[in-house]
């Protein structure tokens, strides 16, 4: 059985996407620690504007969503064996696959869609490592399936 995950560049991209809102939250914290706290009791008092707490909440939500996407990216895999394929949490035997759609895609866009006889559609994103090898493996194991290509 061979197992493939997202390529390192895509994982790095998702990791960096988690950092942007965290940097914003750290900037708000630094503003509070270095400007607001020392100004308490002084003649010139520095305060947050009314929208800063809303911004902090939005950044926190953005950070949580980014971390969830990163965890999903790390956990996702495509497993190939001579009798079946497993994409994420779904699997199918090769003889159950009735149609295959290939498309030119980038990133998380769907590059390969496998349709099974029971109506499931399993999708392989373009950012998966060794995509061309996976495509060739699928083609060699699903000779009876209808293959379409989208540009």
Question: How many whole angstroms separate alpha carbon 77 and alpha carbon 70?
Answer: 13
Which is nearest to 101 in space by CA: 118, 122, 77? 122
Query: Do 99 and 22 contact (CB within 8 A), yes or no?
Result: no
Over residues 92-134, the pLDDT tens digits come to 999 999 999 999 988 889 999 999 999 899 999 999 999 999 9
Question: How many whole angstroms separate alpha carbon 67 and alpha carbon 6?
Answer: 16
For 140, the enclosing helix (H) or strand (E) is helix 131-141
Over residues 66-85, the pLDDT tens digits come to 999 999 999 999 999 999 99
pLDDT value of position 47 = 79
The alpha carbon of residue 90 and the mean position of all alpha carbons in its chain are separated, in whole angstroms, by 17
Over residues 9-46, the pLDDT tens digits come to 999 999 999 999 999 999 999 988 888 888 777 766 77
Q: Tokens for 100? A: 């295959």
Average pLDDT rounded to a whole number, residues 1-10: 93
């Amino acid at each position: 059985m061979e197992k493939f995950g997202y390529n390192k560049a895509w994982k790095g991209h998702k990791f960096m996407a988690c950092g942007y809102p965290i940097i914003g939250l750290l900037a708000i914290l630094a503003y509070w620690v270095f400007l607001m706290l020392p100004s308490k009791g002084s003649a010139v008092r520095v305060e947050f504007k009314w929208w800063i707490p809303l911004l902090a909440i939005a950044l926190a939500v953005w950070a949580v969503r980014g971390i969830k996407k990163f965890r999903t990216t790390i956990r996702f895999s495509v497993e190939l064996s001579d009798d079946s394929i497993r994409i994420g949490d779904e699997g199918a035997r090769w003889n159950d696959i009735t149609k295959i759609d290939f498309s030119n895609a980038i990133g998380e866009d769907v590059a390969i869609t496998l349709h099974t006889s029971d109506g499931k559609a399993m999708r392989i994103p373009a950012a998966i490592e060794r995509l061309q090898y996976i495509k060739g493996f699928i083609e060699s194991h699903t000779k009876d399936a209808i293959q379409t290509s989208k540009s």
